[in-house]
Amino acid sequence: MPTHHYTGLAGQSYDQPAQAGVLLVNLGTPDAPTARAVRPYLAEFLGDSRVIEYPRWLWWLILHGVILRIRPARSAHAYARVWTPAGSPLRVGSEKLAAALQTKLSQLAAGPVRVALAMRYGAPSVRAQIEQMQRAGVRRLLVLPLYPQYSGTSTGSVIDAVADTFKQLRWPPELRIINDYHADAGHIGALAQSIEQWWAMHGRGDKLLLSFHGIPQRYVAAGDPYLRQCQTTAHLLRERLGLNETQLITSFQSRVGREPWLQPYTDETVKRLASEGVKRLDVACPGFAVDCLETLEEIAMQNADFFTAAGGEALRYIPALNDGNAQVDSLSALVLRHAQGWPEFFANEVA
């Protein structure tokens, strides 16, 4: 008899009450701040062709012959600087956000809605979470990548992981994916409120810098909308806060390798601003839903040191939205808008 490779539940799904699911997906994290734990995480992350668009054979040689021999120890040191007793800040913060969104949607939705969290790289995987939700009776699935701005390197990769999982399911659930929410009014309002509240508590700096994660320039030239969406977010936030283009500026962080990435670069920008006489620089990272290595170590530590070394007095990082009420409210409204027509969310809808 022919064999198959499809995951099925042998009829058990028929016995489960149908429910909807919301799958939050964040980037991922190693299990521990050690080189041994970081290595497989980096191998999965940097081995993704969505992230690194080089010929596979060439990149495999570079990745396994050079990068994975050097970078795990360096990255482990950075992770150790921000690791908490509860674990990875990204993992802990994302879990808190998922729990808060579960509570909020349980109050708003008409029927059973299950919220789960997956990591694109590391655990829990997209595949494992979707299969678990299927076993629980989820027949309608909304995937929400926690990347406000779309890029093939982030949201595109999540879509790949979801598609690869669905290809292995004998009875896939109905599927919807939120492509981006960079211009969503609720999200912009949440960002502005967070910054205004931080200013009310700590005072306002000389300038506000929005630092987005960078990608290679050639990805944008090939059609990736990421740069335009970052610019739109910055424009809308500038309008909402009542700032001009000299008071709120943008930059791009986390570049690796020698090829040109989106500019201006964050590290060069903070050094330049300090040399020009800016004493207090406020930095927010509106591309990150939850605080992580790139915000807590790269911005609040590394770039803060760059700024003071160049003559500035203080680089002050404004935390991500994390599991605050503003983000929970904006994401729940986003979910409800994208789930229209599903009976679990709206009592007057017909299954």
Residue pLDDT, tens place only, 202-251: 999 999 999 999 999 999 999 999 999 999 999 999 999 999 999 999 99
> For position 223, what pLDDT does the model report?
98
> Which range is least confidently modeled, 51-55, 114-118, 185-189, 261-265?
51-55
| CB 270 within 8 Å of CB 282 | no
Q: What does the pLDDT look like over 132-180, one tens digit per residue?
A: 999 899 999 999 999 999 999 999 999 999 999 999 999 999 999 999 9
Pairing of the two strands 174-177 and 314-317: unpaired
> For position 290, what pLDDT does the model report?
98
> For position 346, what pLDDT does the model report?
82
What angle, rounded to 10 degrees, do the helices at 68-82 and 35-46 form?
110
Average pLDDT score over residue span 288-312 = 98
Reported as a pLDDT band with limits 50, 70 and 90, residue 347 is low
Q: How far apart are CA 230 and CA 88, in angstroms?
A: 26
Output the six-digit token pair for 300.
Answer: 């609040």
Reported as a pLDDT band with limits 50, 70 and 90, residue 275 is very high
- Judged against a pLDDT cut of 80, whether residue 9 lies above it is answered with no
- Judged against a pLDDT cut of 90, whether residue 34 lies above it is answered with yes
Average pLDDT score over residue span 114-122 = 98
- Judged against a pLDDT cut of 70, whether residue 4 lies above it is answered with no
> Which range is least confidently modeled, 13-27, 78-92, 245-259?
13-27
Q: How far apart are CA 235 and CA 240, in angstroms?
A: 9
Average pLDDT score over residue span 276-294 = 98
> For position 111, what pLDDT does the model report?
87
The secondary structure of 83-96 as a DSSP string is -BTTB-HHHHHHHH
Q: What is the DSSP letter of 164?
A: H
Tokens 């909308």, residue located: 225
Burial track 240-265 (b if 16+ CB lie within 10 A, e otherwise): bbeeeeeebbbbbbbbeeeeebbeeb
> For position 350, what pLDDT does the model report?
45
- Reported as type and span, the H/E element at residue 210 is strand 207-213
Tell me which residue of 266, 261, 255 sits closest to 211, measured CA to CA. Answer: 266
| CB 275 within 8 Å of CB 311 | yes
> For position 69, what pLDDT does the model report?
95
Q: What is the mean pLDDT of the chain?
A: 94
> For position 6, what pLDDT does the model report?
78
Q: Tell me what percent of the residues of the chain surpass a pLDDT of 70.
A: 95
Tokens 């390798």, residue located: 257
Please name the amino acid found at residue 46: L
- Judged against a pLDDT cut of 80, whether residue 310 lies above it is answered with yes
> For position 3, what pLDDT does the model report?
57
